[in-house]
Every structure is written in C-alpha cells, then in structure tokens.
Amino acid sequence: MWLTAPDAMKSILIEGQLEPISEDTSDPSVRGSTGRGTKQISPETLRDMPIVSIGQPEHWQVQDLYTPQKLPRSIRSKLNQDDFHLVRFTCTFRPVTNESRVMWARFRINLRPNSSPGPYPLAFDLYPQQVVQEVRHSIKVTFSPLLKFQELEASVGRAEFGFEYTEQVPLISGTLGTSFDPTWSYDAGRKRVV
C-alpha cells in the first residue's frame, strides 16, 4: 500500500507567527545551536517573522497497512498486547518577506498516552532521518615551485590542475531521543563535508 504525501496540509492544528526566544529560556535545546537567546528585537522585525504551521497528525494502524503474515514476527507476537501505528506529522515554516529566512528550527513531538494513567507511546523509528542538499564544487589549483597549493590563475612556471567533489550539506536531521520525543531539526547554516 502506498501512502501519498499531500501537496498541502489537510487540516491545520495550529498556525502562527514565530517569536524570537528570550534570554530566560532555560531549555538549551530550544535556544538553538548558539546556546544564546535573542536580545531586543524591533517591531518591524517581529512583523516579518516567518509563519509556522503544524498539521493535524494522521495515523494508521499497522494492521490496516499490512496483513499479519507480512509483518515481522517480532511485531506479530506483540499485536495482542500493544497497538502499532504509523503516524505522519507535518510542519512548515514560511517566510513572510524575501528578507526573512528560517536559519534554524526544531520540530519536536511529545508523545503522550490517551488517558493519564495509560502507558506512554514509544517511537521505534522516524523518517526522514536526514535530508541533505548536494553542493558540487570544482576547484582549480596550481602547484607552485615552492611546493604550495594555491587557488590562482594559470601562469608560467606553475603546474595547473583541478579537482571536483560533492559536499553533502545536511538541512534536516531527525533524532529519536528518548522514544517519547522524536525531533527534526532544520539548520540552514550548518556545513559539513561528508
């Protein structure tokens, strides 16, 4: 069975303009990768903050997607005691103006039981675990008589050559955490050669 991803959110659970985090934010995971909050923000900047939309979660029971014979034995043996669901969460960040951008964002799900004394639901896996953008680089270097690599124009007395490589720039990284709080982080500024 194929579950298709909708082109737009079907049902929006919550939508609003992002707010900068304050200095008194005590949770370091909320403050972002810099570990600092935001200082005084002008009213114009506040008006231009991006919009976040979180969709109503969609879920399917695993038994509705697969016949019991196709399920792994480890799951089949637990079907009488536990419920297994596939859950789809949606979250979008949309800039209001061309000048505003989302540089870092985190979407964290806090899984809770339906009834207060009930057992906490556990996340066994999440998807996607990583979304990357490939950036292709072509570099031309010279090898000078002084045995130094230099990114220079060709000239007499230097051997010129080039090389190409692809850089994988992570944009979204998923983390399972404690199994109660799956998290996806977006970071437009992080660069890492893989």
* Residue 74's pLDDT band (cuts 50, 70, 90): confident
pLDDT in tens, 51-73: 999 999 998 988 888 887 888 88
Nearest to 79 by CA among 96, 61, 95, 92: 61
CB 37 within 8 A of CB 22: yes
Higher pLDDT, 94 or 100: 94
pTM for this model (two decimals): 0.66
Q: How many Å apart are CA 189 and CA 194, to the nearest integer? A: 16
pLDDT in tens, 138-150: 777 665 566 555 5
Q: How many Å apart are CA 3 and CA 11, to the nearest integer? A: 17
DSSP string, 70-121: GS-HHHHTTTTT---EEEE--EEEE-SSSS----EEEEE-----SSTTSPPP
The answer, yes or no, to whether residue 121 has pLDDT greater than 90, is: no
* Residue 192's pLDDT band (cuts 50, 70, 90): very low
Q: How many Å apart are CA 123 and CA 127, to the nearest integer? A: 11
The answer, yes or no, to whether residue 154 has pLDDT greater than 50, is: no
- For residue 50, CA distances in Å to 13, 33, 81, 101 come to 17, 19, 44, 7
Query: Which of 21-30, 36-45, 63-72, 145-154 has the highest mean predicted lDDT (pLDDT)?
Result: 63-72
* Residue 13's pLDDT band (cuts 50, 70, 90): very high
Mean pLDDT, rounded, for 155-182:
74
